[in-house]
Every structure is written in C-alpha cells, then in structure tokens.
Structure 1
Amino acid sequence: MMWLNFIGPLMAALALITSAMVKGYDNIPPRPNILPSPYDTGRAMPLSLPRDKGRYCYVDQGLEENRDDAPRIWQSLQECNDGGTIVFDKSYLIGSPLDLTFLKHVDLVITGDIAFDDSDVYYWQNNSFKYTFQNQSVFWKLGGEDVNIYGDLTLEESKSVIDGKGEAYWEAVRNDTALLRPILFALDGMKGATMSNLRMRNPPNWFNIIANSSDIIISNMDLRAESLKGTKIANSDGWDTYKSNRVAIQDSFINNTDDCVSFKPNSTNVVVQNLQCVGSHGISIGSIGQYPNETDIVENLYIYNISMANASDFARIKVWPGIETDFETHLAGGGGTGYVRNVTYDLLHNINNDRAITITQCYGQSNETLCNEYPANLTIEDVTMKNIYGTTSAKLDPEAGTLVCSAPDRCSDIRVENITVTVPSGKSPVYECRNMDDSLLQLTCIEESGEDRDTSQG
C-alpha cells in the first residue's frame, strides 16, 4: 500500500510535468527582477517567493465567435493560485466582470493578448465594478498578496497586449456624456506586486488605477491610446493612484490624451521616474479636495527624469475650490479638506507643452470670482520643482505656466529652482503668480493672465 500511495502522486506529478513540457513552459519568459531605481519609496519592497515549477496553468481559449473567456480565466487562477504560474498564451475575449482579488503568491504571464468585448458598451456600464470616487468603474480588479504580472516586449506588437477596445466608447460618449466607461486595469487591495513588460491599448477611460494597495512596482510598460477613426479620445489617464502607499512607476512610455500619471486622494510615498509621456495633461497631483467633509492627503512624492511632449501641462497640482458646485455630467466638486506636502519634481524635459508648471486651487470651476470668494480648504506646502528645461508651445507665448493659490495662507514653501524653459517667440518667459512667496521662485512672475482655463476631468 505504501508503494501504491507513492506511485499515485508520482504519476500525477509526472503527468503535470509532461503536460507543462508539451505546452512549452521552458519558453515562458522568466520573471523580471524589478527594483525601484534610482529612487525608492522609502522602504524595501517585500520579497516575492519562488513559484512551484510543477504548477503551470495555461488558460484555455474559447472557440465560439461570441465567447466569454472570463470563466476560463477565473478557473485557471483558482487552480494555480498560491504558488503557481498562470500563462495567457492565446487570444482571449472577456465579456463579463472578473473579481480576482483573491490572488496569493502567484505569477500571471501574458504572452498572448487579452481584450474586452465592446459589442455593448452599456453592458459594462451596468455590470462593471464601481468606485464612488468620480463615478469610476473597472472591467476587472486584481488584488491579494505577492503577485507578479508580466509579458515580453520583445515579442511582436500583437503579443503581451491588454486591449480595452476604447473606440466604441469614445464614439458613444460623444452623444451620451452620461455614459460610464470602465478603466482598463485595476490593482485593488494588492499588497506586494509587480507589473511589467506589457502593452496596453485604447482604454475606454483611464488605463490603470492602483487603489487601496501598497508596495507596488510598475515598470517597462508601453501604453497607447490611438483612434483609428479620428474619434476624440476621452480621458485615458496612464496611471492613477488612489488610497495607496509605496508605489513606484518607472521606465515606461505613454501616448494618451489625459494625465500621464495622476496622484488621487490619499496617495503617499510614490516615486515616478524615467517616463516618456506624449500628448497628456501632465504629471498631476489631483484633482483633490473634490468632496465636502472628506480629507485628501497627498504626501511624499518624488517625480524624476520625465520627458513630456505635446501636452497641456507638465508639473501640475490641481485642487478644487472651497465650495461645492455642479460642473458637468456626473461631476461636481469643491469643499474638501486636506493637504499636499513634501513633493519634488526633478529633471523635467519640457517639449512643446502649453505650460511647464501649473498650480491651481480653482480646478473644475470656470467662475474665478467664486474661487476667490471661497478659497480652497486644502493646503499645498513643501513643494520643490527644479531642473526644468526645454520649450513650451506657442499657445500662451510668452507665458510658460501658472502658480496660483486661492489665498495667501493656502500655500507655503513652494520653490522653483533652475528652470531654463524657453518660449517659441524668443521673449523672456513669464508665469502668472498669485498668493505665492515670489522670493522662492526663480522665474519671472506676472499677476494676471489671459490663459484658457483647463477644466477637464482627470
């Protein structure tokens, strides 16, 4: 009996190993060894445990035209969770929401492609996972502990792809501004994770949200929102952090139409470094202070070595005013409390952006008189923007930025150092400055501006 008890597990193990060999697990790219560099988040990231080399789950692909691969994905993750590796090596279509917040000690390897069914945009409006913050929602959410998600960017362009098929949503929202569009990817409730070497394409809304999470590294990602029909792309933030601590986002490329990275409420100890951003709204703190009776904290950020081209803004802080008012469909704001503290923007290459620096406490509100009457309840302090170079666009020439606080006691210790940004006309660049300590600003301030206020959500 002891011999038989030994043979049974042995044969099962051999079958599993044989199956893995037939599937070709030797061709799976090795897990990247990713560390925050050159700056970290203030504490070492947790160690990711080795995976069991005998546990490989290959996700099956449905063959029917109107298939939904979500149940197959869920089943594979259940089978190989807690020590295994799940391989996405085919083309998958997800047609129903996936709650994958149970992950533990597992790797997800995407060498194929994953897309979301765009045949009915209103299905996802009604069935996606919802966030109260800015009425956001997501197709799927991944959470848990010790998770590595990665692909292989050396493969052809159609591989290692997560595709939101956003064009259908961008077209629909032109006629229905109330349409709720899902975020492409969500890490929610994740503790200790890496995501790397993946292509992301055409999100209906933002590309990524990192929510309620800690100890996250994002690296070597390629994000592109590109319309094939000339449709105006709605939102498409690259990464948004929300209620998260110790996050590093680095060594990546993004071409989009909204914030390259945005630090939403209660983002702390975040490093963003070595990014190339095109067509965005900047590396943005906020928007924050949107909800009355809520306290938003954004603290301990380091933004380093960023190239930003053809954007509306670059280094940006956006705070709502001190009173709540309606703004647009699904969006009202103002009256929240809190603070922005200990933030550094360092080594910023500005290429044809409208503004190199933007600080506003009148975000989402075109009525400047109202903002002056009700200054923001949220303070900004201990901010340094340094080593900024390049040129702005001609849109606001000779103005190169705005630094405007809503009252003298709302901003303190805001410094701008070693800024050599030029404007196309060759004139001396100027900046609108109000309620600032001008002695800390190594730039030329003016008091008033004819700027076009950017009030878009993001």
Structure 2
Amino acid sequence: MDPLSVFLFLLFVGAKAQSIKQHNVDDFGGIADGQTDNSKAFLDAFKGACQYDGHSQVIVPEGTYLVKSAKFTGPCIGPIDFILNGVVQAVPGPGEGGEWFTFQYINQLTINGPGTFDAQGPTAWAHNKCSKNSKCKMLPTSIQFNFVNNSVVSGITSLNSKMFHINVLGSNNLKFEKLRIVAPDDSPNTDGIHIGHSQNVRISDSFIGTGDDCVSIGQDSRDIEVSGVHCGPGHGISIGSLGKYDGENSVSGVNVHNCILNGTDNGLRIKTWASDIKSRVYNITYTDIMLMNANNPIIIDQQYCPTGGCDTSKASQIQIEDVKYNQVRGTSKNKDALIFECSSDFPCKNIVLTDIDISYLGKDGPAQARCRFVKVESIGVQNPPTCV
C-alpha cells in the first residue's frame, strides 16, 4: 500500500472510531455496590446515547448494579450498542408487575454480553398464583422488546426471571444469538423467549433452561426461525397458546431446526384453547430435532386447559395445517410419543411426518401414536407407527 493510501485508510479508521461515542453509566452516577438504585443512571446514559447524532454506546462496566426498573424509549437518532459487562440485578420480591427492563421504539439496537440480567426470581416465585387463577397478577418480565427493529441481542445471560425472561412484541428483524437463559424447572411461568405480533425473528445457538416454554410463539407471529437451541429443562418449543383472546391473528412461517430438547415436559408443541375464536396455524416446519427423555415429544393439543374448568364439549376453532416434521428422533418418557389431539370442527390437515424415530423408555411396550381428527402423510421411518 502506497503512503497516500495508508494515510487515507488511517484517516478513515480514525474518523470511524471517533464517531462512536461512549456513555458509561458510572459517568451518570452509577454505583456498582449491589444496593444503590441505578435506574436514573441507566436512563440518563441511554438518553445521551439516544440523542447523539451518530453511533453511540451505553457501557455497563463489571460489577453488580441494582436497577429497580428502566424503560429505554426511542426513536433514537443513530444506532446504539448496549454493552453489558457486569451484572444488572433486580430488587428482591415480586415487584410491581409490568416489565423490569424495556426497550421500545428503537431501530438498530445491539445488546452485547457477556454480562447478566439477574431478576432474583427465587424471591418472587411464591407470589405467582397463575397456576390456580387465570386472572392472576402478573410478575415482571425481565426484558421486554416493544417495536424494536433491525436489532441484535447477543452473548447475554438472563438469570432467574420473576416471570418471562424475554418478551417480544410488535418487532421486525430481531435476532437473538448465543444467549444463556436459566431458571430451575420448578420456577413458574419463566418462559425463555416469548414472541407475539412480530415477524422476522431469529433465535440461534443458545441454551435455554426454564420452568416453562423455552421458546413460545404467540399470535400474529410470522417468519420465525429457531435453530441451534438447546432446550431443557422446560416445556419445550411451543406455538401458542392460541384461541384465548378475541381478534387473534394467525401464526405462520415457523422453522425450527437443528435443536436439542433434553428432559422437557413437552417437545414440539402446538396448543390451542377450545373456544369460539377463529384463526390459523400454518406453514410450520421442524427439521433435525433430537429429543432426550421428553414427556410429550410431538404434540398438538387443541383442548389446552392448564388451569382446569374448561368446557370440554367445545371444539377449537383454530385451523392447523401444513405442518412438517422431518428427522425427529430420540426418547420419550410417555408411551404416547406422538399425540395429535386436533379439533373436531377443524381437523388438522396436511400433517407430514418424515423419518420419525422416537423410542419409549418404559417397559410396558413400544412407543405409540394417539391421534384424533387429523390427516397424516408419512414418509420413511415411522417409529412409533403413524396413526391415520
């Protein structure tokens, strides 16, 4: 490279480096003592970054920062990197509901680890009454993304959420990669990542072990990809529940592949309530899935009713169709390794099983399939034998 080229290159690099402005929470009054409420320091640092005309960074250094709650609201002028090196810790107890950390109306946000969001869930779980009361008071979600577009969340840990770890609402082109989401298997409603009213969401190369769904995909979600996820403990990778609220929109274009589910209560699950609400679930593909000691490896449940008291005479009005299971293998704790409990009013259709090999761990006979109101096409290996 000639001298002029070297000079221009260094000038370009220097200009680019100068254009990234750092906003360290310590410079805004942050104190990493695990006791002081740093909500204002975090909000002020983000406000400075949001108003900067260029690429900016919010820096959380090493140490433990107590934060009561923080809502980071755009739109912002330029791209923002939220760099978490330390531990952000919630206050103990059940909190006040809502969300703990919220990012909303932001474009081009990057959240990088290796730090941890610790919600101190063990101090709150005893206050969760949702297993007995569907109208329960919700505990706080750890990290909420509302209308966040063209953004990436990478390398962080979410530890012991009070309720959901991560909730995605109204977002487009959002990527989650190399995450670690952790809560014990008896922690209530600690879904790993829940998605609703969103599109183009990618979850990849992550470990998710919780007390509820590792990934749950709710209404009005489309073009969702889950790949390279290790799930367990938890309730598996779920679509739904659907059919609970008026005006629900369809779920479509879900692609789950190259995932491992270990010791989960369910494996690949689609769940709907038996109600009068009409909608669709379609164009769903599961490929290259390993299930280890799963309770319900493959299940469509259109009589979903976790708290009891449902009218069993009703049939779900959700149409499930165009669902493909390819190369799903492993072991089942349940003799019914494949369950299709579909709707009598809207039977499941175009369900295709290709090379399914799931063995039952019990001693009272081989694995079996249980099916109602479903049309199935089977190709290749079928263990258990497919019911039609």
What TM-score comes out, normalization by structure 2 length? 0.86
Q: How far apart, CA to CA, are the structure 2 residues paired with 1:400 and 1:63?
A: 50
* Residues 109-128 of structure 1: pairs in structure 2 closer than 5 A: 109-118=83-92, 120-121=93-94, 123-125=95-97
Residues 364, 425 of structure 1: CA spacing in aligned structure 2 closer, same or farther, 3 A cutoff?
Answer: closer
Query: Which residue of 1 is the match for residue 108 of structure 2?
Result: 146
Deviation at 1:304, TM superposition (A): 0.3
Query: What does residue 243 of structure 1 align with?
Result: 197
Alpha carbons of structure 1 residues 368 and 265: separation in structure 2 relative to 1, 3 Å: same
Residue deviations 1:296-340 (CA, integer Å, cap 9, x gap) = 210001000110011111110001112xxxxxxxxxxxx322100
Going by fraction, where is helix more abundant, 1 or 2?
1
SS in 2 for 1:167: helix
Describe how 1:40-189 pairs up with structure 2 within 5 A: 53-60=19-26, 61-62=30-31, 66-81=35-50, 82=52, 83-89=55-61, 90-103=63-76, 104-118=78-92, 120-121=93-94, 123-125=95-97, 137-143=98-104, 144-152=106-114, 160-173=115-128, 178-189=136-147
Q: Give how far 1:180 is off.
A: 2.1
- Partner of 1:139: helix, strand, or coil? strand
Q: Which one of the candidate residues 310, 314, 317 is aligned to 1:374?
A: 314
- Pairwise mapping of residues 273-292 of structure 1 onto structure 2 (< 5 A)? 273-292=227-246
- The one-letter code matched in structure 2 to 1:187 is F
Distance in 2 (CA, whole Å) between partners of 1:113 and 1:138 is 18
Tell me if structure 1 keeps the 8 A contact 2:196–2:218.
yes
* Alpha-carbon distance, 1:282 to partner: 1.1
Counterpart in the other structure of 2:259: 306
User: What is residue 348 of structure 1 aligned with on the other side?
Assistant: 289
1:52–1:165 Cα change, 3 Å: farther
Partner of 1:199: 157
1:315 is matched with 268
Distance 1:375 1:366 in 2: 17
By how many angstroms is 1:65 displaced? 6.9
Contact 2:158/2:181, CA 8 A, preserved across alignment: yes
Q: Which amino acid aligns with 2:292?
A: I
What is the root-mean-square deviation of aligned Cα atoms in Å? 2.4
Alignment correspondent of 2:13: none
- Deviation per CA, 1:22-51, whole angstroms, max 9, x where unpaired? xxxxxxxxxxxxxxxxxxxxxxxxxxxx77
Aligned to 2:293, the other structure's residue is in SS state strand
Deviation string for 1:68-120 (max 9, x for gaps)? 211111111111224211110142111134243444411111111111112x5
CA contact (8 A) 2:353 2:376 kept: no
Q: Is the 8 A contact 2:301 2:340 kept in 1?
A: yes
- C-alpha displacement at 1:213, in angstroms? 0.3
Distance 1:315 1:408, change over 3 A: same
Q: Distance in 1 between matches of 2:188 and 2:248?
A: 28
Consecutive unaligned residues of structure 2, counting only runs of 5 or more, are 1-15
SS in 2 for 1:296: coil
In 2, distance between residues paired with 1:435 and 1:63?
58
TM superposition score normalised by structure 1? 0.73
Q: Paired residue for 1:265, among 207, 219, 222? A: 219
Q: Which amino acid aligns with 1:68?
A: D
- After superposition, give the CA deviation of every residue in 1:362-403 in whole Å (9 maximum; x if it has no partner): 1126779944x321111001000110111112xx3x321311
* Paired AA for residue 90 in structure 2: F
Code of the residue aligned with 1:210 in structure 2: it is: V
> In structure 2, the residue corresponding to 1:363 is in which secondary structure?
coil
More strand by share: 2
Matched letter for residue 190 of structure 1? V
Amino acid at match of 1:85: Q
Residue type of the alignment partner of 2:357: T
Percent identity, aligned pairs only? Answer: 21
- Is the partner of 2:36 in helix, strand or coil? coil
Q: What is the DSSP-based 3-state SS (H/G/I as helix, E as strand, rest coil) of the residue aligned with 2:227?
A: strand
Using the TM superposition, give the Cα deviation of residue 268 of structure 1 relative to its aligned residue in structure 2, in angstroms: 0.4
Matched positions, count: 357
